[in-house]
Amino acid sequence: MAERGFSVSRLPGFSTVAVMVFVALYLPIAMLVVFSFNSGTSVAIWEGVSLRWYVSAWANEQVKEATFRSLIIASAASIVATTVATMAALGTTRRKAFKGQTLIYVMINQPLMVPEIVTAVALLIFFATIKVATGYQGLGYLIAAHSAFCIPFAYLPIRARLEGMDYTLETAAADLYATPWQTFRRVTLPLLMPGVIAGMMLSFVTSLDDVVITLFVKSAGQDTLPTYMLAQIRRSVTSEVNAISTVLLGLTVVMLTVFFLLTRKKD
C-alpha cells in the first residue's frame, strides 16, 4: 500500500539520501566483481565475459602460497582465540561482580580500541627482538598476533549467547547429580555451541582480512593474501586482484550469512 498523507516519521529528503547511500555502498564493489570477469585488461572498458583472471590467479604460484598461508593462520588463530575466549566468557559472565572485572574487560577489548598501526609497530619491535634471540622465523608470530586481535571478536558473541541462556537447565543437571564437568559437557557447551561457532567465524573473517599487523609482523616471504594484494595494487594492477577479491568477498558473504542464521533470535 502506498503511503498517504502525513507520516510523522517521514523527514524530507531522508529516503533519497538513504537510497543513494545504498547505491554508493554497493556500486564500487559491484564494479570490482563485474570487471573480474572482463576479458580485457582494463578496469573501465568492458570487452566481454571471460574467466581468464581467475585462471591466471589460480595458476599463480605466489597466490596459491599466500592463500594457503592465510588459511593456516586464520584457522589456527580462530581456534586459539575461540578456545581462550570461550573460557574467558564462562569466567566473566553470569557471575557476581568480582575484583578486577573491569581490568579483564579492558584487556579483552583492547584490540578494538588501540589503533592497528600502533599494535603493529609494537609487535614489530617485540618480535624482532625475539627473532634475533631465538632464530625462529616461522608462522608462530603471525598466529600469536592474529589470535590476540581475534579474541574480542570471538568473546562478544559467546558472551551474548551465555547471557541469554536459561540457567535452570544447568541447575536441573546438578540436581540430578551431574558433576560440574558433566554439566558443562552435556548441558552448557551444547547450548553455547551456536555462540562458539559464530565467534569462530567472526575471528576467521577478521584474521583473513588483516593487512596492517600482518605487514609488520611477517618475516620475508610470508605474504598472506591481503599483503600480497596490497603489494600488487601498489605495482601495476592486473584484474587478477579483482578475481582474488571476488573470491574473498564471496567467502565473507557466506560466512556472514551463516553467522546471522546462527545468532538470529527465534521469536
Partner 1 sequence: MSEVQKQADRKNARNAWALSAPALLVLTVAAVGPLLIILIYSFLLPGKYGNVEWGFSFDAWRGILVSKDIFDGTYKLADAHLTIFWRSVKLSLLTTVFTFVVGFPTAWFIATRPPRWRAALLFLITIPFWTNLLIRTFAINQIIRNEGLFNTAMIQLGLIDQPIVIIYTDFAVFLGMTYVYLPLMVLPLFAAIDRFDMRLLEAGYDLYASRMQVLRRIIVPIVKPGIIAGSILVFIPSLGAYVTPRILGGGRNMMIGNFIELQFGAGRNWPLGAALSMTLLIIVMVALLVYVRFANRDGGHG
Q: Which of residues 18-47 bind partner 1 (CB under 8 A)?
A: 18-22, 24-29, 31-32, 35, 42-45
172: contact with partner 1 by CB under 8 A: no
Which member of 66, 73, 123, 198 binds partner 1 (CB under 8 A)? 123
Does 216 sit near partner 1 (CB under 8 A)? yes
Binding of residue 178 to partner 1 (CB under 8 A) = no
For residue 96, give the C-alpha cell. Answer: 557476581
Ranges within 125-144 binding partner 1 (CB under 8 A): 125-126, 128, 144
> Do 117 and 45 touch, CB atoms closer than 8 A?
no
Nearer to partner 1, 33 or 72 (CB): 33
Q: Based on CB atoms, which residue is closest to partner 1, 145 or 187?
A: 145
How far apart, in whole angstroms, are the C-alpha atoms of residue 218 and residue 213?
8
Q: Which of residues 56-95 bind partner 1 (CB under 8 A)?
A: 80-81, 83-85, 87-88, 90-92, 95
Q: Are 254 and 204 in contact (CB under 8 A)?
A: no
Q: What angle do CA 52, 53, 56 make, to 5 degrees?
A: 85
Q: Which stretch binds partner 1 (CB under 8 A): 62-70, 98-106, 161-169, 170-178?
A: 98-106
Residue among 1, 113, 133, 176 that touches partner 1 (CB under 8 A): 113
> 16 CB contacts (<8 Å, ≥6 apart)?
none
Taking each helix axis as running N to C, give the angle between helix 101-113 and helix 140-163, from 0 to 180 degrees, rounded to the nearest 10.
Answer: 120
To the nearest whole angstrom, how small is the minimum distance from the Cβ of residue 83 to partner 1? 7
For residue 236, the surrounding DSSP H or E stretch is none
Distance CA 240, CA 217 (A): 26
Interface with partner 1 (CB under 8 A), residue from 50, 211, 219, 263: 211
Strand partners, 49: 38
Of 155, 156, 162, 218, the one binding partner 1 (CB under 8 A) is 155
